[in-house]
Every structure is written in C-alpha cells, then in structure tokens.
Amino acid sequence: MKNKENKRESFFVSNCVICKNKFRSEDFILVLKDNNKSIFHITCSNCLTSSIFMLLSEERNILGAGSITDLGRDEVKEKLKMKPISTDEIIEIYQQLFRV
C-alpha cells in the first residue's frame, strides 16, 4: 500500500524560494481568515522577500499555493478589503496577486 499522506506537506511553504531560509512563525502574517480560507503574507527574515500563501479548503479538499509578491502586507489587505469575498472572488484575487 502506497502512502500518499505526505502530499499535504507540499501545500505548505516552509522555505524562502530565494535564499532557502527557513521561515519562522513570526514571519507569517495572517492577512485574511474566513471559514474556509486563509491568506498569509510572509516576509523572509533573511532576504526580505515577500511572499503570499493562500490556503483554501472546500469540503474535503485543501488547496494551497504560495508565490513571491511585490505587494506589501498592507497592499494585500487593501486588495482583499475592497469587497465581500466569495470563493470565486478569492480565486480571482489570487490570480491577480500571483499573475497566473
């Protein structure tokens, strides 16, 4: 029996993609927390690169992705504050932030 449980770990950003510095818990700022979604802004304490990490849970699925961003945490907050957020909208914002 093959173990696929560790797949979940790949959802979580734990190292800076630029300098490979391991993030500490204080590097994470929770920008948005809703029932099924969380968005974190992460600033690497070593090279000061900013990243965004989003966690979206729907029923039994957990989606997560992280990416480097030019936006500061306040700018991210501003973007998210503009309107009440539905799952569709958060995916839209996500696509903007990540330039997908």
Among 11, 21, 38, 67, binds Zn ion (CB under 5 A): 21
Q: Give the DSSP H/E element, type plus range, for residue 74.
A: helix 73-81
Does residue 62 contact residue 56 with C-beta atoms inside 8 Å? yes
Closer residue to Zn ion, CB minimum distance, 45 or 91: 45
- 3-35 in b/e form (b: 16+ CB < 10 A) is eeeeeeeeeebeebeeeeeebeeebeeebbeee
CB of 96 to Zn ion, least distance (A): 23
CB of 10 to Zn ion, least distance (A): 19
CB of 4 to Zn ion, least distance (A): 30
- Residues 31-70: x/- map of binding to Zn ion (CB under 5 A)? -------------x-xx-x---------------------
Q: Is 62 helix (H, G, I), strand (E, B) or coil?
A: strand
Residues that bind Zn ion (CB under 5 A): 16, 18-19, 21, 44, 46-47, 49
